[in-house]
Amino acid sequence: MPLAMTDYDPHYHGHRRRLCERFLKFRLAGFADCEVVDHLIVSVQDTFSFRKAGLL
């Protein structure tokens, strides 16, 4: 019998949800400077994808 999908989930599944929860709890004080910059870069890349697709 195959294992459930959750048995295979890599550590990064749910990463954005965990980041959001951490931000809501601690605001920027809960993040190192490099984590803030990394999150901003990823957010800009995501926004660019949406704009390119005509969704924004």
Could you state, in order of their start, the residue ranges of all structural domains in the chain?
Answer: 31-56
Contact (CB, 8 A) for 30 and 22: yes
Confidence (pTM): 0.51
Contact (CB, 8 A) for 29 and 23: no
pLDDT (tens digit, 9 = 90+) per residue, 1-56? 455 555 677 777 888 788 888 888 998 898 999 888 887 777 766 666 767 777 65
Integer angstrom CA distances of residue 25 from 16, 18, 33: 14, 11, 17
